[in-house]
Amino acid sequence: MNAASGKAIVTGLPHSGKTSKLIERFLHSLKERPGERRVVIVPDASHRDYLRTVIMQRGALRALRESEVLTLAEFLRGIADEAGLLDGRRMTSLEELLAFRRIIHGLNSAKEADIPLTLSAARQVKHMVEALRNAGLFLKLLPGNEMPRLPARGAIALKAAVRHLWAMKASQRYDGLLAQELAVLALQEGRCRELLPGLILVDGYYDLHPLHETALAAIAPNARSFFMTAPDLPGSAQAMAFALALRRFGLEEILLEKPANSAVKLLGAVAEVKAAETFTGVAAVVAVQAEGIELRPLPTYIKEAQFIAERVLALHRKEGVPLDEFLVILRKTDARFVAALRHHFREAGLPLIDLTDSSESARAARFLSSCFTFAANPGHESLQRLVHTSCPALLRPSHALFTFLRRMGLFLDAEGMKTFARDNEAEVFAALLDRLVSIKGTDKGNTEWMRNLLAALGREFITALEPHLGDAVRNPIELAREQAALESIMEATASLVGEEMDGDELPALLAEICLYAGGSSRELGAGGVYLVDALAARQWQKHVCFVPQADRDHWPQGREDLSSDEDALRTSPELAGVRLRSPEEHFAFEESLFLSAVTRSTKLTVVTYAKREVEGNDIAPSPFLSLLAPAVGKLGGTTPPAHESSFVSRRALMRHCAGALRYGESAEITKEAAAGVLAMTGNSERASLFARGGLEAEPVGQPFAVPEALTPSSFSPSALTAYRKCPYLYFALNLVKPGDPPESLQEGITPLAVGSAAHEALQEAFAGFPDKADISGIFRKRLAAYAAKCAPLDFPLELERHWAVWEYPLRRAYESAFERLIAGRAIVLKMEEDLRADFADTEGRTCALHGWIDRADKMPDSSLAVTDYKTSDMSGFSSKASEGGQARFGVATAPHIYTMLAAAIAGNDVEKAEFSYHLLRENLKVTLEPAEDTIHQEDGVQAIVESLARSITGIRMGHFPRAPHSSCVDCDECEAYWLCRRDLFGEPLPNEVEERFPEPPFKLAKEKLE
Ligand code: SF4
């Protein structure tokens, strides 16, 4: 990299080596002119830390002076310091917020606008003032101290800015921006030139706000040697605007050679899409991939997190990508997504290094904040928050506690809570409430007194929390973190001593300070997958990058800090010359950030987005995806292979094998490999059946010989139901045996888990019959065990919801069944048992029917009542017949088989058996009987037996035609479509179930079990 003048703008596409050129220059200067002063200037701290590491690695340096890599803000503040431009000391960020809070307090217009006296409001105003100052306001104000004419709107921010300037001058306390502004002013006026290092390298900028643009424009001509990088992002309006701004520096331009990589091709395609008139900015986004890029719509953010963890694991294990060569890029830190990512990385045993700024307050800070919020405003909300933050240190979380909170709702008050606490052995919490309520009677404005109370509460809380702080390893770390938080809170509140404060104001302010000052430090580490925000990611380059949450909520990021007031400022004609970023510029900036994120990888970028929220609402994709998806299409986009989670990988493998063996056309797996895999799964009979061609060898319409070893000798209701839904479906699922069904897309606690917990609870409760059991307690315990295996997100609430939904119906169902057994002097004979009965097919060959029953009771009259619990509701039955009405029950074989099994176990000491369903939710007993009026009952039973026998003969004969029962299966949705290749058969398929296995109609009888 050379320029005749020793000054240049180095422009290039991503991966063209712009930063490397600067590093080379830096290292050259270090080696050749060690005495030279040099600096690399970058936009923010994460770039600085990253670049320091890279320079040390490339130069094999053992140390690097801190002053040699700085942010521009640090560099300018250094110049102001050295030049003695400022007297006094720099404020802390909390002091700045308190200063703005005082300014709001004194501004009539702020009072009129009803701006609250909180630190959050102060932060909003501070951000607005900073926007004005970054736009160069003080550069105009400082020299002559002139007041600009106040605009009609946005006056609050402008007045606050001017008052802040006066206050800083008067108090000799300044903020970070004032130091920069004074340094820029000095450089503009030609002062402080001697303080500039000989070599100045500027890297990592994608845009510049006017203050920094002015600063660099003043530095560039005064430096002996000045090189600055500028990204070339075809298709990005922001990058073009940035390049134009730099041209005004009047420096030579060095254009780096275009690298031939996928990122460059992608950017080229993006530019083409943007230029094409057909681009509307709106497009449906589907899964698509091209060289080096993949777009993956996934159901929810939880699935995105799971997908990333599984993909990282697969690439690391199978392709040897080192873990620190993965990068996950977020636009906005979303705590729920980060929690999901952490969970799935932990599950996969992968280290995740979170470099996003998501500091969460320490628990002591949250507790203290809730104490003073309650003291300031003792309402139901603040009390509820206090209860939450007090658990588990001062209050044991229990079902009774949260039921109480939910029941009281808006009527929750300190007195009721105290009574509850005392009744539930929570004296410590009751005493805490007494202390906080008594603050009302004291001098709430006495800062010293309140600080002492704060310190005492903090110490007591940490002592009580200690036994709950994780294991022996985590405990000391967590404890130190809590103590450090309390110390910094005490330090932060020291600045309040001596301040005059309204009695009501002080507790509210203390509550906020606790949260601000009690944050935790960021977790740092090495050797793991990095999680960074998109701004920081602009300098990173890794083999594989993930860009999750590419939806409208996250890309572009909203302008939450500067909302309507900033718009007012921007449009105010009186502020001409103080130009703030327009919405279009903001959008362009976000777009450039997105394009930068998707071009960070050297091998593969995977962009994911969630199609819906966990609650079910649809989420729109990011507008930038509507640009990226067609661009990927232009690069020859193809559909990426369906993502199979590890849970279903065996099923997927079997599916591929079966498909390959049958048709030999799978690109991914050869017939030989498929046969090998099938053989490895333990069944060479099945492997050879498929290796010979499987059904390919089947004469049309003729049964084929199924090897004896593959023919089942016993049949469950679900297997026979599958055969009667579609014989080919039975073949695909039961002979190919692809494994368990795919995981449900439902997040959290599934209906299956709830059903299993209810079944187990009833089993445990009836195990002690005739003693009565606490069914609710057992159910809660069982469901909690299932929930613990699910994703932990929103788990307590979801668990609460399921308990609340099921507690009453389950208790009612249990108690009514219990009372009936007692009244009928019955005994519980069997529970959760696999009943079996011999059966003969139409050719007289014997086999077994079997099925699990939930409970069988022996009645005093020697009859047997067999019960199957159902957690689903009546709708499944109602769709077929109303009470007393008649219906064919289609292909469903379970009621018939269970009735036959129950009758079969009626032996010597049991005279007859009856089968019924117990619908737990509705507490209904449902029985099916052959309809008497159309057919003689015994004939009806015989017809069912024959129908089942024909089905079993069909399976044994290898009769597996494609014959879907149209009202039960839909070929388009069928899981076996891949093997059956329904698409090869254009004609309508026969419904053989109806033709070959007719059934007599049945009658539905139901009885309420109250
Ligand atoms: S796709 Fe249709 S015909 Fe083929 S197995 Fe499934 S239901 Fe049967």
Peptide bond into 221 cis (omega under 30): no
Pair type for strands 827-840 and 863-870? unpaired
Q: Which of 316, 286, 342 is nearest to 603 (CA)?
A: 316
Q: For residue 616, how far is its CA from the centre of ligand 1 (angstroms)?
A: 30
Mean pLDDT of 184-200: 90
**Least confident range of 241-250, 273-282, 538-547:** 273-282
Task: Evaluate: CB of 729 within 6 angstroms of ligand 1.
Answer: yes
pLDDT band at 282 (very low <50, low <70, confident <90, very high): very low
pLDDT band at 71 (very low <50, low <70, confident <90, very high): very high
> Residue 816: what pLDDT?
92
pLDDT digits (tens, 9 = 90+) for 420-438: 999 888 899 999 999 888 8
Q: Answer whether residue 651 shows pLDDT above 80.
A: no
Q: Which of 457, 935, 481, 979 is nearest to 733 (CA)?
A: 979
Mean pLDDT of 177-196: 90
Structure-block tokens of residue 414: 């300190």
Query: Strands (DSSP E) along 147-290, which ranges?
Result: 173-174, 199-202, 225-231, 252-255, 288-290
**Least confident range of 283-292, 534-543, 688-697, 830-839:** 688-697
> Residue 112: what pLDDT?
76
Mean pLDDT of 930-949: 66
Peptide bond into 556 cis (omega under 30): yes
Task: Evaluate: CB of 989 within 6 angstroms of ligand 1.
Answer: yes
- List phi, psi (to 5°) of 568: -60, -40
Task: Evaluate: CB of 977 within 6 angstroms of ligand 1.
Answer: yes
User: What average pLDDT does the structure give for the chain?
Assistant: 79
Task: Evaluate: CB of 976 within 6 angstroms of ligand 1.
Answer: yes
- List phi, psi (to 5°) of 997: -125, 60
First CA to last CA distance, the chain: 88
Which is the closest atom of ligand 1 to the Cα of 728? Answer: 5
Q: Answer whether residue 694 shows pLDDT above 60.
A: no
Q: Answer whether residue 154 shows pLDDT above 80.
A: no
Count CB atoms within 10 A of the CB of residue 299.
15
Task: Evaluate: CB of 728 within 6 angstroms of ligand 1.
Answer: yes
Task: Evaluate: CB of 891 within 6 angstroms of ligand 1.
Answer: no
- CA–chain centroid gap for 888, Å, is 45
Which is the closest atom of ligand 1 to the Cα of 969? Answer: 7
pLDDT digits (tens, 9 = 90+) for 439-449: 865 665 678 88
pLDDT band at 697 (very low <50, low <70, confident <90, very high): very low
Q: For residue 958, how far is its CA from the centre of ligand 1 (angstroms)?
A: 16
Q: How many helices (H) does the chain have, and how many strands (E)?
A: 39, 23
Q: Is the distance from CB of 634 to CB of 293 less than 8 angstroms?
A: no
Question: Token match 């649809």: residue?
Answer: 618
Which is the closest atom of ligand 1 to the Cα of 980? Answer: 4
pLDDT digits (tens, 9 = 90+) for 583-608: 777 888 888 899 999 999 999 999 99
Which uninterrupted H or E stretch holds 613? none
As a three-state string, the secondary structure of 630-646 is HHHHHCCCECCCCCCCH
Burial 531-547 (b: 16+ CB within 10 A, else e): bbbbbbbbbbbbbbbbb
> Residue 23: what pLDDT?
92
Structure-block tokens of residue 880: 């077929």
Task: Evaluate: CB of 135 within 6 angstroms of ligand 1.
Answer: no
pTM: 0.59
User: Which residue's CA is the nearest one to ligand 1's atom 2?
Assistant: 971
> Residue 746: what pLDDT?
46
Q: Which of 689-703, 762-776, 903-917, 940-954 has the highest mean pLDDT?
A: 762-776
Question: Ligand 1, from 721, 968, 974: best to mutate by most atoms within 8 Å of Cβ?
Answer: 974
> Residue 525: what pLDDT?
45
Structure-block tokens of residue 255: 């254009």
Q: Answer whether residue 501 shows pLDDT above 80.
A: no
Task: Evaluate: CB of 962 within 6 angstroms of ligand 1.
Answer: yes
Q: For residue 962, how far is its CA from the centre of ligand 1 (angstroms)?
A: 6
Q: Answer whether residue 903 shows pLDDT above 70.
A: yes
Compute the distance between CA of residue 539 and CA of residue 204 in angstroms, rounded to an integer: 6
Compute the distance between CA of residue 881 and CA of residue 883 in angstroms, rounded to an integer: 6
Mean pLDDT of 393-399: 83
**Residues facing 865 on adjacent strands:** 857, 914
Residue 631 neighbours by CB under 8 Å, 6+ apart: 266, 269, 270, 272, 273
Q: Answer whether residue 200 shows pLDDT above 90.
A: yes
pLDDT band at 229 (very low <50, low <70, confident <90, very high): very high
Compute the distance between CA of residue 971 and CA of residue 861 in angstroms, rounded to an integer: 49
Burial 5-36 (b: 16+ CB within 10 A, else e): eebbbbbbbbbbbbbebbbebbeebbeeeeee
Query: Strands (DSSP E) along 220-275, which ranges?
Result: 225-231, 252-255
Mean pLDDT of 645-658: 60
Q: Is the distance from CB of 236 to CB of 206 less than 8 angstroms?
A: no
pLDDT band at 281 (very low <50, low <70, confident <90, very high): very low
**Least confident range of 83-97, 160-174, 262-276, 471-485:** 471-485
Cα dihedral: 646, 649, 650, 651 (round 10): 130
Q: For residue 467, how far is its CA from the centre of ligand 1 (angstroms)?
A: 59
> Residue 663: what pLDDT?
64
pLDDT band at 521 (very low <50, low <70, confident <90, very high): very low
Q: Answer whether residue 759 shows pLDDT above 90.
A: yes
Compute the distance between CA of residue 804 and CA of residue 617 in angstroms, rounded to an integer: 24
Question: Ligand 1, from 729, 736, 959, 973: best to mutate by most atoms within 8 Å of Cβ?
Answer: 729
Q: Is the dihedral of CA 195, 197, 198, 200 positive or negative?
A: negative
Q: Is the distance from CB of 157 to CB of 115 less than 8 angstroms?
A: no
Q: Answer whether residue 527 shows pLDDT above 70.
A: no
Q: Is the dihedral of CA 495, 500, 502, 503 positive or negative?
A: positive
Question: Ligand 1, from 655, 695, 726: best to mutate by most atoms within 8 Å of Cβ?
Answer: 726
Structure-block tokens of residue 997: 């296995």
Measure the CA angle with vertex 601, ends 597 and 602; round to 5°.
Answer: 150
**Least confident range of 383-387, 617-621, 775-779:** 617-621
pLDDT digits (tens, 9 = 90+) for 340-385: 888 788 777 788 887 775 556 788 999 999 999 998 888 888 999 8
Task: Evaluate: CB of 974 within 6 angstroms of ligand 1.
Answer: yes
Task: Evaluate: CB of 980 within 6 angstroms of ligand 1.
Answer: yes
**Residues facing 869 on adjacent strands:** 918
> Residue 894: what pLDDT?
75
Q: For residue 653, how far is its CA from the centre of ligand 1 (angstroms)?
A: 20
Mean pLDDT of 188-212: 89
pLDDT digits (tens, 9 = 90+) for 829-856: 888 888 888 888 888 888 998 888 899 8
Compute the distance between CA of residue 711 and CA of residue 732 in angstroms, rounded to an integer: 14
Task: Evaluate: CB of 943 within 6 angstroms of ligand 1.
Answer: no
Structure-block tokens of residue 462: 């940490």
Compute the distance between CA of residue 984 and CA of residue 568 in angstroms, rounded to an integer: 64
Task: Evaluate: CB of 787 within 6 angstroms of ligand 1.
Answer: no
Which uninterrupted H or E stretch holds 865? strand 863-870
Q: Answer whether residue 467 shows pLDDT above 80.
A: yes
- List phi, psi (to 5°) of 904: -70, -30
Q: Which of 571, 545, 94 is nearest to 326 (CA)?
A: 545
Q: Which of 68, 73, 13 is nearest to 43 (CA)?
A: 73
Count CB atoms within 10 A of the CB of residue 844.
8
> Residue 607: what pLDDT?
95
User: Which residue's CA is the nearest one to ligand 1's atom 5?
Assistant: 729
The one-letter amino acid code at 660 reads A
Q: Which of 575, 548, 742 is nearest to 642 (CA)?
A: 742
Task: Evaluate: CB of 964 within 6 angstroms of ligand 1.
Answer: yes
> Residue 971: what pLDDT?
75
Q: For residue 660, how far is its CA from the centre of ligand 1 (angstroms)?
A: 18
For every residue of 763-822, DSSP letters joined together read HHHHHTTTS---HHHHHHHHHHHHHHHS--TTHHHHHHHHHHHHHHHHHHHHHHHHHHHH
Q: For residue 977, how far is its CA from the centre of ligand 1 (angstroms)?
A: 6
> Residue 994: what pLDDT?
57
Q: Is the distance from CB of 29 to CB of 199 less than 8 angstroms?
A: yes
Task: Evaluate: CB of 704 within 6 angstroms of ligand 1.
Answer: no
